[in-house]
Amino acid sequence: MRARPLRYRPLALVLAATLALAPPVGAALAGSGHARLDATALARHERIAPLTGLPDPTAVSMRRSALTVKIDNTPLAHPQFGINEADVVYEEVVEGGITRLAAVFNSHLPPVVGPVRSVRRTDREIVFPLKGLFAFSGGAAYALASIATAPVKLYDESTAGSAMYRDPARYAPHNLLLDPVKLMAMAGRPTPPHPIFTYVAKNAPARGAPVGAFTVNFPAGYAVHYDWNARTGSWDRSIFGAPDVTASGARVSPVNVIVMDVNYIGGVGAMGAEANLVGHGPAMVLTDGRLIRGSWFRSGVAKTTAYRTSTGKVIALRPGQTWVELLGPGETVDLYAPAG
């Protein structure tokens, strides 16, 4: 039997203590910057994929750009294509409280990704430090103007050629698919990404409080649930009350999940809701079946985000796929103790 859930309210996290004990934002980012520089050197000399921390014997991840694809997350979009091949997946709130994904591909390029959907203003802040390519299916004028200022090559249905196509077996607008291999081939000179996380060494012990499962309570019926799978060393994901399974039949099960408490300009229910990802706020890092509480810090849109404990220590992830949940103010996370 699961333990009674402990209600967690992100804004009530110990942010004041974190900011008091941790270095100032600039210092925190400078310190974590050294960690990322070390990770970059490690990736260069030991062939480690920059966005997963996993071995990359062929160094392919260091010879191509990051490709961020905007992916539909409504019930009609499931099962999705290619999600498990992403290095990083961001889950953001769009209008009406529904969520959408921004999946980042670098280490692997699956044969198909999607369904592809429209851009939002939050996407500019996600892709800015990654650079590379951004694939989407159009958007409102304000969102298009926003993404146009990011240092990415933009591809939609009108510019991607045969790399983007419609699946006649699905209903529009949930049927636009992408061939990442074709798109990457037509993109020209690559801009390989720098690491955006810090990773633990291979045999590093697990840290944090044990957690058996947790639920991220996005509004409008889009809550997602994760169960720790000790056999795979990852978090089995569920959505809409059922296991999250890709079109290939694989269970979605990331190694790490980060929950960031962020402010949505205009509110999570507003048209054009935009997550402010520059600044600082509470964060939860769930890895190794454990929870590490801390805060996130980002000094500018071109900078990467640092994650630190209340004592100012960098929070390191286990190498592998990472999902980042961008949770709005007042929304909650339910934590469940390990079974038994």
**pLDDT value, residue 45:** 56
Structure confidence at residue 196 (pLDDT): 97
Determine, yes or no, domain membership for 190: no
Residues 45 and 108 in one domain: no
Do 37 and 68 share a structural domain?
A: no
Phi, psi of 193 (to 5 degrees): -80, 155
The per-residue pLDDT for 8 is 44
Cis peptide before 24 (omega within 30 of 0): no
pLDDT tens per residue, range 133-182: 999 999 999 999 999 999 999 999 999 999 999 999 999 999 999 999 99
- Domain ends where: 151, 185, 219? 185
- Do 44 and 96 have their domain in common? no
> What is d(CA 138, CA 162) in angstroms, rounded to the nearest whole number?
16
Can the peptide bond before residue 193 be classed as cis, meaning omega within 30 degrees of 0?
no
Q: How many domains does the chain have?
A: 2
What's the pLDDT score for residue 189? 93
- The answer to whether residues 204 and 327 belong to one domain is yes
Cβ–Cβ < 8 Å for 313, 109? no
Do residues 160 and 206 both lie within one domain?
no
In a shared domain, residues 293 and 323:
yes
Give the HSE-up count for residue 242: Cα atoms under 13 Å, Cβ half-sphere.
6
> Is position 191 within any domain?
no
CATH of the domain at 105: 3.50.90.10
Domain of 115 in residue numbering reads as 60-185
- Where does a domain end: 161, 185, 209? 185
Question: Which residue numbers in the chain have pLDDT < 70?
Answer: 1-45, 269-270
Q: What is the pLDDT of residues 169-221, one digit of tens each?
A: 999 999 999 999 999 999 999 999 999 999 999 889 999 999 999 999 999 99
Q: What is the pLDDT, as a whole number, of residue 268? A: 73
Q: Is the dihedral of CA 41, 151, 130, 85 positive or negative?
A: negative
Specify whether 27 is located in the same domain as 68.
Answer: no
* Together in a domain, 164 and 238: no
| Residue 109 sits in the same domain as residue 13 | no
Q: Are residues 147 and 252 in the same domain?
A: no
Model pTM score: 0.88
239 close to 226: Cβ distance less than 8 angstroms: no
Do residues 45 and 79 both lie within one domain?
no
The first and second tokens of residue 238, run together, are 């569920």
**End-of-domain residue from the set 137, 159, 185:** 185
